[in-house]
Structure 1
Amino acid sequence: MKNTATQVGIIGAGPSGLTLALMLEKKGIKSVIIENRSREYVENRVRAGLLEHNTVAVYDSLGVSERLHKEGLVHHGCYINYNGESQRIDFEKLTQKQVTIYGQQEIVKDLIQACEAREIPILFEADATEITNLEAEKAVIHFTYKEEKQTLSCDFVGGCDGFHGIARKTLPKESYKEYKIEYPFSWLGILAYSKPNYEELIYAYHSEGFALASLRSQKVCRLYLQVANDDLIENWSDEKIWNELEHRLGMELNRGEIFEKSITPMRSFMIDNMQYGRLFLAGDSAHIVPPTGAKGLNLAVADIRNLANGLIAYYQSGNEDGLENYTKKCLSRVWRVQDFSNFMTYLCHKQSEEGSFESQLQKSKFDYLTISEAYQKTIAENYVGLPFEAFE
């Protein structure tokens, strides 16, 4: 059995783990990343595509944003529609900030390339099987790599391995409480080679279900439809998808080749403790938000910033306050993001029959949005991302 050592062991080579490694490397702190998937898989895994201004600033500070700024699309607002009526939320006017459209898989490619250039080890197709000694001086990650059982001894473990990973499963059950909502609808999402004929995201409530017009570039559209949880992708031909998108969005679309389509359940999930001994959770390993608010990746980066600051303070001065208060710092933002994501989900999706008490309340929210700049600003400042400092 091969035994190695480092300062911080990181499980997961998604945006969370890669960002943590780069933040630590900038301050001379060594880490090793263990990832159970192949490099090809993680670099092509389609996920989020909207970056808050906070997230862009983090990548600027790490020197990994050159391609992001070259290829990313800056958006200064979005539209929220209700049965054909449209209201623009002007981010620039209301917050003096903006968001950037840039696919998560592109971020991952940039981060992996930076880790390679800075000689941060990433072990792909390395399956972490156990984390031990969390209350001892050195934690140990047990994993299998190239058919050989190995261990990584480290001062701390960054659990960045997602909802199904080993990190959260390692926390003692009595150390946290779970909170979750399983929404009564799913998203049918497509990626299509299609030039978008809209300049900003469109969130559309429709009497037959929600639709979202998003994009990844000037050549690729990302679009979604609300469907039932028990619906099957086989029920949706390409033509049926395009027809329903145009119907709910109330506009013609440039119909291109659909090269990916899938159905994703909608859920909110979190735990109220993100650390135990030498293990610290970040991103999807600790919380999931419905994608309506475009917060998943951005919330993960906020977690990582807190964790990196705590680790840097520990190594530079021995100050453990940032590590001891890691969960507390993270949870204040997590709850805010959960609330906003839940609000956007309930605002935009069909949940009851037209004319019911619930649907009338839903329309009342939209009507208020059209007349209240304060209401628009609340949405705008949450959407572009509240400052890191607001939760410190």
Structure 2
Amino acid sequence: MPSRTALHEAEASAGAQFVDQAGWEVPRHFGNVEQEYQSAYKRAALFDLGHHGKVEVCGPEAAAFLHNLCTNEIKQLEIGKGCEAFFATLKARVVGHAFIYRARSDDGQDVFFLDTAPGQGENLARHLDHYLISEQVEIKDRTGEISQLYVAGPQAPALVQQVLGNDFSRLANLEVREAIDHADVKYQVRRHDFLGLPGYHLLCANERASEVWARLRHAGAIPAGSEAFETLRLEAGTPIFGRDFDDSHLVMEIGRTRDAISYSKGCYLGQEPVVRSRDLGHVNRSLLGVKIHSGQPGKPGAKLFRNDSEVGQITSSVFSPRLEAAIALAYVRRGSQQPGTELEVELESGRCKGEVSALPFLAGAPG
């Protein structure tokens, strides 16, 4: 039986239709997907991300421990800031992916919060624990223990300020702060424009989650489900572990090198193949965008062709109302990666014309 977030009962009462996502029962929609989608880019939408993996790493040697296992700079990461990173094998195949936030506990110790994809918290915690020998580090999978509400849209900063009583509009992307509101609810607030829109993760105790959800709704946030989230995610060109990449992919293939890989940090697990790939100047395939000249999205695994030769494969695809076309994230082979390159896309109705697109699809989204 799928797990449920702390908001399940409140969401059911609001008319949510649920779907299984990585072993969690989460809202698919609340009856009007188009309204939910529009609320995100016009006003503010409210998503339940309680099913996203949450791993906490703390202790005097936590920074060095994570630094040696992931692709980005952790030792120099400032308190209150975050970064994106991969965890890899010696051959640079993906083991995990996370947005890592650094904070300071009440007793003055470093605490790192790893926000990862649905269903991946336990796997990432297990991977980290495998490399824990004698370091003064504690690893906890907190998935299910903490609620995670996500408010996204142009009105999100004002709405969060109204509910929490604090102005977080100046938080930069991937910055984190602690807050307590007038109802004595304690939050961790993370700025993350994951959908290419101003976005705030509000993490709080499970027992206060329904109260916070109701207050956000009262302030004007529109509850939204996974269908609207997926459309916005693809428009922003944001890949997610388990759908767009897994342990069969190299960290260099996923199109996140600029944000998630540091070439100056020193040694870490998987570094050698990453540096070798940089020195060669290419990888054999890369995750890119594809615009499909049809209203029909491609299915995951659908093939891409150029001059009748297979050159790629779709991982995720949706219809984008703002672009008035179907779009996809896809792995495209070297030699066919230039934006504007014409392709044929394998659809249920037959092959359809398409073209390679740089990411994000929409201007303003983080690339």
* Higher share of residues assigned helix: 1
Computing the radius of gyration from Cα coordinates, the structure with the larger value is 1
> Comparing both chains, which one has the higher relative contact order based on Cα–Cα distances under 8 Å and sequence gaps of 6 or more?
1
* Higher share of residues assigned strand: 2
